[in-house]
């Protein structure tokens, strides 16, 4: 559940950072659970306040470590601002609150220049050192599927989607090689998680970040940026791939695995949407969002 940020709460947080008083509070687009608002301060500067409603404080600390790790290795991201005595978060009623730098430009577009930049940034990300703050498990992948099957068993309610999910994911597990080159992945590279105007200014929201096959992130970015009106656009894939390979060329095994990895990425988004809006927090208005990805699974694309 998102929360409304009051002037008193915003003032409390900016005072911890030693910033001027809050003049304006505006909601920001993006995110399904956590609250993000833009604060206008009395000196004309702006910062983003984030309330981590959907994450435990322990989880937030791990995510902050991930942002710091990317920043140390030159990957543009949003590291929380210090809130007195070097702390990067504050707690209020058991929930973590952070202040983040505000980046101009809004969400990254899907033009050729933007996608080339995204490809280059991804390739650089995939080559930074691994770190223990990143899990080996993908939260929106196989483990989520297994949770959904357990919920279906408990409720004795196996819908057509869940039956198909189990069948298709089983096939993919047997097809995707287990020895593909691995690296630190974002895991959810959709437009609302990337800020920039013509090039990447910052990669946001590392809740789904993990250590996995590098090529998976590339096709997930294509799921997020490469489709329009229900169809994949060749020029968008070419721009992403060209940018990526200008930094890190794909291996032959990665190229061969792209179709299966793309299916896995698409299936993961479909499953997350179904779990979120149908099984976990039923919402009539959003209950059919997963069907967009289900329809995509029927379309072949030559990678």
Q: What is the pLDDT of residue 58?
A: 96
- The average pLDDT across 102-112 equals 93
In this model, does residue 100 exceed pLDDT 60? yes
Closest Cα to residue 234, out of 112, 63, 122, 132?
A: 112
Q: What is the pLDDT of residue 104?
A: 86
Contact 107, 191 (CB under 8 A): yes
Q: What is the pLDDT of residue 143?
A: 96
Give 237-248 pLDDT, tens digit per residue. Answer: 999 999 999 999
Instruction: Specify the residue for token string 């909601």.
Output: 27
Q: What is the pLDDT of residue 33?
A: 77
Q: What is the pLDDT of residue 31?
A: 60
Q: What is the pLDDT of residue 1?
A: 54
Q: What's the pTM value of the predicted model, to 2 decimals?
A: 0.94
Contact 29, 35 (CB under 8 A): no
- The average pLDDT across 229-243 equals 97
- Find the DSSP H helices in the chain: 7-16, 57-72, 112-125, 142-155, 160-175, 214-225, 234-245, 252-274, 290-296
Contact 116, 198 (CB under 8 A): no
In this model, does residue 232 exceed pLDDT 60? yes
Fold of the CATH domain 7-100:
Phosphorylase Kinase; domain 1 (3.30.200)
Q: Which residues pair with 44 in a beta bridge?
A: none
More confident residue, 262 or 28: 262
- The average pLDDT across 270-294 equals 96
- The average pLDDT across 6-26 equals 95
Give 146-202 pLDDT, tens digit per residue. Answer: 999 999 999 999 999 999 999 999 999 999 999 999 999 999 999 999 999 999 999
Fold of the CATH domain 112-296:
Aminoglycoside 3'-phosphotransferase; Chain: A, domain 2 (3.90.1200)
Report the C-alpha gap between 115 and 100 in whole angstroms.
Answer: 25
- Domain-wise residue ranges, the chain: 7-100, 112-296
pLDDT band at 2 (very low <50, low <70, confident <90, very high): low
- Find the DSSP H helices in 93-135: 112-125
Q: What is the pLDDT of residue 107?
A: 93
């Amino acid at each position: 559940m998102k929360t409304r940020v009051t002037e008193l709460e915003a003032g409390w947080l900016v005072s911890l950072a030693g910033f001027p008083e809050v003049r304006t509070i505006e909601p920001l687009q993006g995110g399904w659970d956590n609250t993000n608002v833009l604060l206008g301060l009395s000196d004309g500067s702006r910062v983003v306040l984030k309330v981590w409603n959907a994450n435990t404080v322990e989880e937030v600390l791990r995510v902050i470590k991930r942002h710091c790790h990317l920043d140390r290795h030159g990957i543009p991201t949003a590291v929380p601002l210090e809130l007195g005595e070097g702390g990067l978060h504050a707690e209020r009623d058991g929930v973590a609150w952070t202040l983040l730098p505000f980046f101009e430009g809004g969400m990254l577009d899907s033009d050729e220049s933007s996608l080339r930049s995204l490809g280059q940034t991804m390739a650089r990300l995939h080559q930074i050192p691994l770190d223990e703050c990143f899990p080996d498990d993908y939260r929106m992948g196989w483990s989520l599927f297994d949770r959904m099957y357990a919920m279906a068993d408990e409720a004795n309610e196996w819908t057509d989607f869940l039956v198909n999910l189990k069948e298709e994911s089983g096939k993919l597990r047997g097809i995707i090689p287990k020895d593909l080159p691995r690296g630190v992945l974002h895991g959810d590279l959709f437009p609302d998680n990337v800020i920039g105007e013509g090039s990447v200014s910052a990669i946001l929201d590392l809740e789904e970040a993990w250590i996995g096959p590098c090529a998976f992130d590339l096709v997930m970015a294509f799921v997020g940026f490469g489709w329009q009106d229900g169809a994949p656009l060749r020029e968008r894939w070419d721009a992403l791939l060209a940018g990526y390979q200008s930094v890190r060329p794909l291996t032959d095994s990665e190229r061969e695995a792209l179709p299966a990895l793309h299916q896995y990425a698409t299936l993961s988004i479909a499953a997350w949407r179904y779990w979120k809006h149908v099984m976990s927090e039923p919402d009539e208005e959003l209950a059919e969002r997963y069907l967009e990805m289900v329809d995509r699974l029927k379309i072949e694309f030559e990678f």
